[in-house]
Structure 1
């Protein structure tokens, strides 16, 4: 007759899941085991640490607030950081950086690229004296 001993290091109760997280722009997914009761924010943190430990590119950083976790098979919006990872009943996820909005520099200009309109537009400097410019479309001089 055999008596089975219960393992002492069983850890927290609940099911454990092998999840796969694909990082947008990276070569392949990161795989690790998590407890199904673990929060999405904790999973993002673990994924970022594993990604950095493996020396993967592109370099992402470590701030979990800069990232969103998606479940491509379930829905199109990002998972809430306060949801449990097991609530999705999925094993594959996508980690993306949050989109950045145009921030203002010290002088008040936007850091986003400023596009130039056409080459035929004239710019007048403030405080400039009246001058003449040739306008090829009207075949005459324009006074400013």
Structure 2
């Protein structure tokens, strides 16, 4: 970086407002965490997107996909509530997070057909469809 650019950064008051910090995201089912720098004002949704792209670029397993709407991000320091995708990542003061895939919902019609099924689905719905009888839930 040139001396001129370094002086501009020092004199620019906005360059000091944006703080960056290193976060660690553990992905449920993956062997190790993902680490990268974020800005304090970055939205949780943007952090999830960056984590998914980084995870895929590294070729990690299990394959998660790229739709950030299918995931929750939890703070390791906070309670059991997922972070809102529209809040700033720095609003909690935490540096450690957990990324979890949302559970896919399935619906079973009266004739046993499964609607909206993604992934492995529900074992009761599979059994109902396979054996064509109903198992009641408790």
Normalised TM-score (structure 2):
0.72
Aligned residue for 2:43? 39
Aligned residues: 114
**1:47-102 deviations in Å (ceiling 9; x for gaps):** 00000000000000000000000002112100000000000100000000011111
- Tell me the CA shift for residue 109 of structure 1: 1.8
Uncovered stretches (5+) of structure 2, i.e. residues with no partner:
115-120, 134-138
Q: Secondary structure of the residue that 1:6 maps to in structure 2?
A: helix
Residues 1:6 and 2:7 aligned together: yes
Counterpart residue number, 1:25: 29
User: Does the alignment pair 1:87 with 2:72?
Assistant: no
What SS is found at the alignment partner of 2:85? coil
- Choose which of 75, 79, 102 in structure 2 pairs with 1:75: 79
Where 1:65 maps in the other structure, the secondary structure is helix
Unaligned regions of 5+ residues in structure 1, if any? 117-122, 124-144
Q: Which has the larger radius of gyration?
A: 1
Question: Is the Cα contact below 8 Å between 2:76 and 2:94 reproduced in 1?
Answer: no
Task: State the TM-score, normalized to the length of structure 1.
Answer: 0.69
CA offset at residue 34 of structure 1? 0.5
Pairs within 5 Å for 1:90-101: 90-101=94-105
Distance 1:7 1:19 in 2: 28
